[in-house]
Amino acid sequence: MRPRIIGNQALASFDFLVIGSGAGGGAVADMLTKHGKTVFVLEAGPCFYDKLDDPTTQPIARHSNDELKAYVRNILGPDSVVEPRTWRAKDSDGDRSFIGDVNPLPKHVGGGCVHADLKMPRFNEDDFRFGTLLAGKYPGASFADWPVDYDMLEPFYGYVERTLGIQGLRGSDPFASPMSTDYPMPPGTKPYLVTKMEEGAKKQGITIFPYPSAINSRPYDGRPACVDCGFCSGYGCPSNAKSSVAVTMLRRALVSGKCQLQAETRVVKIVTNGRRVDHVECINGDGKTVQLKADQYVLSASPIEDARILLLSGNVGNSSDMVGRNLMFHLQTIGIGIFEERLHAHKGRAVSHGFSDFRGKANDPAHPLGGIVEVGGSQGALQESTFYTRILTTPPFQYDGLKFKRLMQQSPARERLCALTMQAEDAPQPTNRIDLDPAVKDLDGLPVARVTYASHDFESSARDFYSPKLIDLLGASGAKYAFIAPKDDVSASAHVMGTLCMGTDPKTSVCGPDGRFHDLDNLWAADGSLFPTSSGYNPTHTIVTLATFVAASMVFPGSPQQGIV
């Protein structure tokens, strides 16, 4: 099968080659083409959009509200049978303790922000200076200040909000840092579930506010308003009401005529000549190995795959021995309440509201650093019914079709469930890292990424501190029963950060303040891999914003704000 080429196929040479088409890569392509640069974007997965490069019509999304396609047939990929990762908590556990899905992100044009429900809070001012606030106070953790701060990124946050189209209400979060601009769209409809939770929050002194989201609450940029179909989290949007980078920034780059996107083309090696990248080696859609070139290169394949590509390339860019280290996942603490009345939480956006009261403050034992809390519910009739059918039958679990149908109709939990999910700050640790598994290989015969990861007491103690408070809030809101969901043995948060951390010292970081590798003159990183710390907020907005800043720094060294004027 020939790789699918989208965009200007007449382009024969390129200023930049971008590896990955997700939140980071798509944002980079947009900024570079906006300023006249020619860009070649390589994506390992397929494209589920038609007419993505057609300026006369909106893209046609080949997504659907189909649980079987999404979770059984694994349409978004990658398939852990042929592209697994391995996991262990520490080196002494041996080479690995698990093989399979380890925090995978979708593999297709647009990356993880296509399937995400695109909750888009900003980080706040303190999130960029935990080196100053926390360094040395938590043994084993490597908190560091970012080489950029909130004030530097604030205009870029606003630019991204306008470019993507983000709904929200400025000033509604009492813990948010100052914004110089309003959100371009007001919040969408408040679901009944939130009304119930607001009753309890008022009693607890908690402020619930509309969650900033890259989902249209009204028609925006030629795309329709969300109809609250309920299939946001884990699904691509069939109407393009969800403002993923694929149908906004990446599409704008393709429509410019300055960009070519080649899907089903997997970069497996970065080849250098001294301090410069000479070319990349790829496996394309028909299984052939090809070499592709540009003047300059950007790595935006996601933190785990970024590190894996560099390690497969012979440790490129790793004079500091920091490539792959300080891997971070948000430790999600989920409080679940079951109500006697129907809440209908599945009939709308996956998360429309949240609160930041449990984010906490550095060095305040009465309010330790936790994270923003999402107010949501249960979704997925098939998943729920399958679970209950299994526990109501005996091995070998012979499914009763009538019982399955009745369980879907009755929905013992889905209609009556509220889930409060805290995205707790994850301490960076050099021992939490990516390397190459010594024995397990993928379908192309290449070593897979091995994840070595264990939670630090920093985030575990925050989980212990805030768990009873989640239970109390559910009870105050009317829940009949409440409990804290067990912690995942293998992280599945889908929030992946670190591995190529940015900083000013080449001995302790991989990339500089502008995202350029310390070791190479023409290679940048531009995704969540650059994060020195994880914050306690959803990372997507900051991934897109930081990638936009990095790309603007390429075009306007020393004065990146010129890029968004």
| pLDDT, position 415 | 83
| Residues shown for the chain | 565
Query: CB atoms < 10 A from the CB of 395, how many?
Result: 6
Which residues, 6 or more positions from 270, have their beta carbon under 8 angstroms from its beta carbon?
Answer: 277, 280, 297, 299, 309, 310, 313, 316, 523
Q: Which of 12-16, 189-193, 406-410 shows the lowest mean pLDDT across its residues? A: 406-410
pLDDT digit string, tens, across residues 179-202 = 999 999 999 999 999 999 999 999
Model pLDDT, residue 84: 96
The whole-number average pLDDT for the span 399-415 is 73
User: 3-class DSSP state for residue 303?
Assistant: helix
Average pLDDT, integer, range 262-282: 97
Token pair of 13, please? Answer: 């040479």
pLDDT band for 3, please (50, 70, 90 cuts): low
Q: Around 293, how many Cα atoms within 13 Å sit in the side-chain half-sphere?
A: 8
Q: What is the pLDDT of residue 2?
A: 61
**Whether pLDDT at 493 is above 90:** no
Q: What is the mean pLDDT of residues 226-235?
A: 89
As a whole number, mean pLDDT of residues 253-273 equals 97
Q: Quick check: 389 pLDDT over 80?
A: no
Query: What angle (nearest 5°) sits at the alpha carbon of residue 193, between those of residues 170 and 415?
Result: 145
DSSP, res 412: T
Q: What is the pLDDT of residue 413?
A: 73
In percent, the amount of the chain with pLDDT more than 70 equals: 96
How many C-beta atoms lie closer than 10 Å to residue 287's C-beta?
Answer: 9
Secondary structure class of 424 (helix, strand, coil): strand
Where do the structural domains in the chain lie, given as residue ranges?
A: 1-56+98-166+243-329+431-452+497-565
Percent of the chain whose pLDDT exceeds 90: 82
Q: What was the pLDDT predicted at 232? A: 86
> Is the pLDDT at 159 greater than 60, yes or no?
yes
Coil, helix or strand for 24?
helix
CB 362 within 8 A of CB 458: no
**Could you report the per-residue pLDDT of 521-562, keeping only the tens digit for each?**
999 999 999 999 999 999 999 999 999 999 999 999 999 999
| Cα(128)–Cα(150) distance, integer angstroms | 7
Q: What is the CATH number of domain 1-56+98-166+243-329+431-452+497-565?
A: 3.50.50.60
This prediction has a pTM of 0.96
- As a whole number, the mean pLDDT across the chain is 93
The answer to whether 500 touches 509, Cβ cutoff 8 Å, is no
d(CA 173, CA 192): 20
Q: Is the pLDDT of residue 396 over 60?
A: no
